[in-house]
Structure 1
């Protein structure tokens, strides 16, 4: 038994925030699953960019794609889909034993189309069909333009990982989109018990942005609040989850679980597992880089459910942040814009690299 098993007892599923061909073919992913009690995998454009631009694990498939005349976009997605299919197959037993709750592997729509509803839902459908595994989740960003695509995908029976959520207000819109999509699916006669969804709340990026602003303010009162915004933000989101999903859903429907993402600390002065120990509680997922998983196992410092009754204290943190001059609304705007921009940049770097290799 490790901290990861203890997290599961509290109700938090641990997913690995990483995937590569080398992890799969070397047996490393199977080992991590077995030895560290990992029950799912998430990917994003930055993860695939890192995986595909290093080493030679993709050389054979790249040569096949080159001979077949694939475009750069087709090649990148062909390789991504192959990795996700293999990871889905590896975690199929978890999917089956948990009734579809875990054993999930996520693949993201092209971040360059996050402002295009029609293109987003079209690619979500395409990825769902091409991966062709019951335990895949299609990642769709929680941008204004993509929110309708989230509802549309769910209404068609597609399991969705809603990503790049930075505020409780945005999370409320995501929940509304989820409820709309599930109701539409139910009304259409689709078995909603097979549809699962998570809402990915980004944690450490909130602290990075707020901490920089607290340092700029420079008072002792401001500096005392460093490292508190990300956890408080997630804890407030959890309070909304409890409230919104206390109401009855269509018969057989699953709750959309909160997922804590960006859980590797950016500030080395902070405890490496703080976004694990402080965000443990029922009906949640924490997707972690392997370094954070290792830190959590080594730390072993869980202190029970840190979500269910944390609302008042979390709200106090946000009140104090506003009192010292932090414009939280502006923080969220910056994080949402930068979140999409960072994924677009990673994806473009990958496309540029792959174009050179295909030539």
Structure 2
């Protein structure tokens, strides 16, 4: 079937279009396949909030929940069995995409967010989930917390493909890229003949949440209203500038010569939170080669209907730096913004994970 022209144009500009959602119903109904066939979808991201909505809102999990209940498995084992099954099936559906587009055709599964500040536990669960799903086109999501950075390095060093999540600042993004390169170097140190081409990674840089937090602070400071809703895009544009610098370095060239793939920037949190903004803002203004944009279905369909490219990211660096400087000059403490967003991001996923755990616990009891 023919692809939507606007999304196909986006893809041809170097943006991999991913869907930020997954459910068993979406897989079984053929909806996910149709999005691949008609809307240029070449990857899927998930998080605890997505799974909480999927499992609590569908009867498609009833048979599996019953089987798990009569086996008297723990809630934690049931949770990983259920989510792992959905991710495995999605990986299988997207395997043909992965075959023709190495690095895409990926599906992400997140480590338990409560481990975000425990390096060893994060690395151990990442290895377990990689084993559990057992698909080469899997991504394990690890948060870019201070404790997460060494776990990312360890996982990459073991040949595990990683989606680094909850990145809010260019400085932390540089640390993420360093963890990726260090992991690849570790793998070569262990085995100089190691094939690096099978290891993939993306770095999920969050966008709309930055605007939400900074706009709130700009209002409190009585700043010029013209500054509002500019920082999210500008911050991401500066992140892409950092990406270009790192992946044109001699350090990277040495790894690329061994078959390594660049860790692509992934724009996350791309659904607008402010209804006064264009609903395709965080797609149109973040078009650049070698990027991924993971979209809620509502945002995907909005771009398919009326999206259009904005200013190329590479032509926006000076303006982006000016926006972030103006925000700082208005009295916004950017370091505190990024710290708060990371803490809140982890906590939101913990809360969703707890909700998901409780939902599964209740359903296991009901299915006995």
Does TM, normalized by the shorter one, top 0.5?
A: yes
Work out whether residues 39 and 103 of structure 1, in 8 Å CA contact, stay in contact via their aligned partners in 2: yes
- Answering whether residue 112 of structure 2 is matched by residue 137 of structure 1, we say no
Give the C-alpha shift of residue 154 in structure 1: 0.3
Aligned to 2:170: 168
Aligned ranges 1:10-29 → 2 under 5 Å: 10-29=13-32
Work out whether residues 18 and 45 of structure 2, in 8 Å CA contact, stay in contact via their aligned partners in 1: yes
Work out whether residues 280 and 307 of structure 2, in 8 Å CA contact, stay in contact via their aligned partners in 1: no
Aligned to 1:253: 260
Work out whether residues 2 and 300 of structure 1, in 8 Å CA contact, stay in contact via their aligned partners in 2: no
Distance (Å, rounded) in 2 between the aligned partners of 1:115 and 1:323: 32
Give the C-alpha shift of residue 285 in structure 1: 0.3
1:209 to 213, 221, 224: 213
Structure 2 unaligned spans of 5+: none
Aligned to 1:237: 239
- Answering whether residue 321 of structure 2 is matched by residue 319 of structure 1, we say no
Local SS of the residue matching 2:327 = helix
Aligned to 1:199: 203
Distance (Å, rounded) in 2 between the aligned partners of 1:11 and 1:115: 34
Q: What do the CA deviations read for 1:263-294 (whole angstroms, capped 9, x no partner)?
A: 00000110000000000010100000010111
Structure 1 unaligned spans of 5+: none
Q: What do the CA deviations read for 1:60-115 (whole angstroms, capped 9, x no partner)?
A: 110011011111111111110000000000000010101x2110000000000111
Give the C-alpha shift of residue 187 in structure 1: 2.5
Give the C-alpha shift of residue 184 in structure 1: 1.1
Give the C-alpha shift of residue 7 in structure 1: 1.2
Instruction: Give the TM-score of the pair, scaled to structure 1.
Output: 0.97
- The runs of at least 4 consecutive aligned structure 1 residues that moved more than 6 Å come to none
Give the C-alpha shift of residue 229 in structure 1: 0.6
Work out whether residues 3 and 302 of structure 1, in 8 Å CA contact, stay in contact via their aligned partners in 2: no
Aligned to 2:103: 101
Give the C-alpha shift of residue 313 in structure 1: 0.7
Aligned to 1:63: 66
Q: What do the CA deviations read for 1:305-333 (whole angstroms, capped 9, x no partner)?
A: x2122111100000110111111111001
Aligned to 1:87: 90
